Amino acid sequence: MATVEDIIARAYRKPGITAQGKVPDGVKGEAGLRLLQSIIMTLPGLFQNAQWVDAYVNSGVFSGRDGVRVHVTPPGAVVLPVTVTDLDWNWSEPCFDLEWYGYPFIGWTQAPKDLSRVQVIGGVAPGTFVYVASRGSWAKVNGLTMQSDFPFGEEDEEGLVCQLATSLVEEYGGELNPRTAALAQQSYASFRARFKKLAPVREYFRDYY
């Protein structure tokens, strides 16, 4: 599995800012990490042009769902689910736990959808998490370090390398070949399309006791 450092090193090599086999460190390493983190956090559909619902957990354990921002007050806790139950309900304003509102609950169990998003605020493990279907696991996408695992699947490595290379050229100069520029645009569009899914549209105010 690639690390964040691997992605940054590849991005620096694309426009020839660093030589083959060189790993950027110091100022260049910090700049690459800052730019990569910024690119990830501004992916279309993660936070920008995205809708979230808020859940408040004061005690017990809440199972995160796509598009839920969970505010945790100990001893409350959050788990990131391995499976979720989809709702088979024609509801114009989709929400979670429809039985709470008195509507029938019908669904089936499956893995979370690719790029499902959960943000945890407070508690012992805050962060923004994304489900990566090709890895079958959740990954934290904020607070990255050079030694962190790349938070997406192998299918997104080259695209994000190219996105980062584009930003590095703006900061350090250099020249990108047309293929790199095209892959950067394709990667951005791919994330936008995959994040664009059925999203909650109402705030979810419910305390867990």
> Could you tell me the residue range of the domain that residue 90 belongs to?
1-209
Alpha helices per DSSP H over 70-204: 157-172, 178-195
Q: How many CB atoms lie within 10 A of CB 207?
A: 12
Residue 78 has pLDDT above 90, yes or no: yes
Number of domains in the chain: 1
Q: How far apart are CA 11 and CA 162, in angstroms?
A: 6
Regarding pTM above 0.75, the answer is: yes
Tokens linked to 59: 């005690």
**What is the rounded average pLDDT of the residues 30-43?**
97
Contact status, residue 184 vs residue 156, Cβ threshold 8 Å: no
Q: What is the pLDDT of residue 114?
A: 95
Residue 17 has pLDDT above 50, yes or no: yes
DSSP assignment of 157-185 equals: HHHHHHHHHHHHHHHH-----HHHHHHHH
